[in-house]
Structure 1
Amino acid sequence: MYVQLALWVYFLYGFGPVAPLLRDEFHVSRTLTSLHGTAFAAGGVFGGAVLPMLTRRLGRHRLIWGGLGLVCLAAIGMFAAHHIALTLACALLGSLGGSMAVNAINAAITDHHGTAAPAAISEANAAAAGVGVIAPLIVGATFAAGWGWRSGLVLVVLPVLAVAWYARTAAVRPPEPARPNGAHAPHRPLPRTFPLALASLFATGSIEICLTLWGSDVLRDHAHVSAGVATAAVSTLIAGMVLGRLLGSRLVLLFRPTRTLLAALAVTLAGFALFWVATQAALAMAGLVVAGLGMGLHYPLGIGLALAHSDGQPDLAAARASFAVGIAFAVAPFALGALADRVGPHSAFLLVPAFALLSALAIARLDRLTLAPRAG
């Protein structure tokens, strides 16, 4: 399941920093280019809507591999697409597949690890982000070499095929949802603390998509680096996320997830401040590393809290979480792109601390209402 998650993350982080390249290629505005984030959001929201039904009909095993199959089709489509309408369609398809796979994976990890699920989810996302580090490097390298960014993105198909072959021959399958007495139990209302976890997921998802999708544009505009270097430099953000998740998988065993997430938000803001004020590439990339340290814990802790506050319904909670993340992917990059067309990308990036404040308020309220379950 860790490897399956990593394959989706390669596609996600490989495509993230190419938005400025698409803007240059198609000669369109940042607002129009940011619709790729909206397409990713639409796929995630639709995936979340159909996930409970698909889980009941297909099971997690087929759902995960079907989702990764759609990711491969999206990568192949991106390779052949040279019109913005086609790249938007491929972003939608890839996001739908990724939503199907990642939500089934998170629910399966939760069932498999029980009370240690927040640590396991953080560890899984650390492994995935480790693969995600190389995605912008490969995409940036193929672009700089004259092969185009599409060549780096489509490489994801080969490991998906290899891992699918191994899983089939070794008969590796994820745990399936429990079916009491052979039937599907009706969904119960989710606890009143659950919306607070969703609010935080929306805010932290907005931070992540803004920095991965438009961070390279700020590097080009404010730190004056080349397009190829700026695209590859997003790997510094992801490298920080890998380290943050590795540390976080241990910290969450010692401290309450809510308090750990609040500390992570503070680290993210410190790194963002350095990135935002820096006019030299090295300082700006150092800021991305520090921001990544905090960001690395945002999603794993957020989804872990959502699943922990699901009243024993992880598949339903994972589906609802897709809506929060999907809306973030729709609203945040479009708002930032539209604002950047008016005031420039550097000033527009002040939306990031606003999203961090929203997440902090939601998590502080959740911390006061209830003690989050300890992992371990």
Structure 2
Amino acid sequence: MESAAKPPRLDASVQVGRRFHRDRVTWVLFAELSAVGYFMYGFGPSIPLLIDELGFSPQAAALHGAALGIGAVAAGSSSALLASWRGRDAVQRAALCTLAVGTAVYYAGGTFVVTLCGALIAGYAANVVVNTTAAALSDHHDSAAPAAISEANGVSLGVGLLAPLALGTAATVGLDSRAGLLPVIPFVAVVLLASRRTRLPDTRRAPDSPGDRSPAGGGLGYAFWVSWCVFLLCAGVELAMTFWASQELRDRAGMSSGAATMGVTAMLLGMVSVRLAGSRLTNRWSSGLLLAGSIGVNLLGFAVFWWTTTPWTALSGLVLCGFGIALQFPLTASRAIAASHGRPDRAMARIGVGEGLAAAGSPYILSSLADSVGIHLAFLMIPVLLCGATLGLLLGSRT
């Protein structure tokens, strides 16, 4: 990571990956993030099922995604302060316990208010864990952080792809689909027990630089905010697809509710396969080139998914979408951290706010458009977001 006095260039020449050693701290962080992955990748597909199971309107169901996003914004606004005040270990453990509580509330709720509160609680806790994990991996692995973050997300996603299968199976056999989220609770208990003697790296504060604008040295600079905007748009694509792809499979490809929910796993399989190979990819190619390629593959996969009316072709398109989406979070997050003047906790806090805005806005906007023009045409917002991300990447390459 370059010094705070000389912000790094984020063009195609930046090499973002080096070999890293997976020690006990690394595996603990992987496991903690995996608990979040199971919840997050199960929560999205559960939202359309609230319409059938609890009689919510599409807008009311979509508000659960907005609640998740509000929780993420709150996490982004507070996680860095909490980590500095109480230490990463205490924050991470408290957040994991809160995630288990939020999951239980979301499952047990039979009314809109209770399920919404569960989503808000879990959304806050999950994103505190995400922010703390990425910042800790960045400090622990330094220049190899992009590879570590990519692999962490790959492991988390590998666990998370089990969640839509559990939800779909529950829906198929006539149970409350949200029961598929309950494994989060024992998972958290096991992770906390196994990691009780492991200490995460403490927060590190970089020396102030002339470019910092706040008394605390908190200015992040133009390059960071360009990368942040690219992250926001890419996150909007991933969340909109995760939340509403199953509805498109039902309406356009004629799949049953349970099969469509399990069909989201096709996209997650594409994502996990590429994320697990992320360390090798980032060793070979630059972040700018990989990110541009991921956007192109995402557009291609979306075209296949959106155009077809047959289930297997639609699922193939989702796999391609997963290939494209896979590296967008770790690469955009790593590029933003690299431009943060050595402040990974602060950078991840801002990224957490972006994640929250994307979670609150993107799925809800798509559902609102669907009310006016139908879910099929509403999905055209995906290529619009991807084109915006491409423009941001081009701007970043000139920073």
TM-score range, shorter chain: over 0.9
Given that 1:37 and 1:329 are in contact with CA atoms closer than 8 Å, whether structure 2 keeps it comes out as yes
Name the CA shift for 1:179/1:275 in 2 (closer, same or farther; >3 Å): closer
Counterpart pick for 2:77 among 41, 49, 68:
49
1:19 corresponds in structure 2 to 47
One-letter identity of the residue aligned with 1:145: V
- Could you state the TM-score of these two structures normalised by the residue count of structure 2? 0.89
Contact map agreement 1:64 1:102 (CA 8 A) in 2 = no
Which whole-Å CA distance do the structure 1 matches of 2:107 and 2:51 have between them? 16
Task: Specify the SS of the correspondent of 1:192.
Answer: helix
Name the count of aligned residue pairs.
Answer: 364
Note if contact 1:210-1:333 (Cα within 8 Å) is conserved in structure 2. yes
In the alignment, structure 1 residue 216 sits paired with structure 2 residue 242: no
1:7 and 2:43 correspond: no
Which sections of structure 2, spanning at least 5 residues, go unmatched?
A: 1-28, 208-214
Shift of 1:162: 1.0
**Cα deviation 1:207-230 (Å, max 9, x = unaligned):** 011101000000000000000001
**For 1:237 and 1:119, how far apart are their aligned partners in 2?**
21
Query: What root-mean-square deviation, in Å, do the aligned CA atoms of Structure 1 and Structure 2 show?
Result: 1.4
Name the aligned partner's letter for residue 200 of structure 2.
Answer: P
Match of 1:176 in 2: 202
- In the other structure, the counterpart of 1:253 is 283
* TM alignment of 1:105-120, pairs within 5 A: 105-120=133-148
Q: Deviations over 1:125-165 (max 9, x none)?
A: 01111011111001111221222212210111111101111
Matches within 5 A, 1:147-162: 147-162=175-190
The letter for the 2-side match of 1:236 is: A
Aligned counterparts of 1:27 and 1:14: Cα–Cα separation in 2: 20
Superposed, which structure 2 residues align to 1:1-376 within 5 Å? Answer: 1-168=29-196, 171-178=197-204, 186-369=216-399
CA contact (8 A) 2:170 2:176 kept: yes
Distance 1:187 1:223, change over 3 A: same
Deviations 1:232-271 (A, max 9, x none): 1111111000012123321111211122111001001100
Structure in which a larger fraction of residues adopt helix:
1
Q: 1: CA distance between counterparts of 2:390 and 2:98?
A: 35
Unpaired stretches in structure 1, ≥5 consecutive residues = 370-376
Identity %: 37
Provide the C-alpha distance between the structure 2 equivalents of 1:234 and 1:115, rounded to a whole number of angstroms: 34
Match in the other structure for 1:372:
none
In 1, Cα distance between equivalents of 2:226 and 2:282: 19
Q: Which range moves more in the overlay, 79-88 or 141-150? A: 141-150
Provide TM-score, normalisation by structure 1. Answer: 0.94
SS in 2 for 1:187: coil
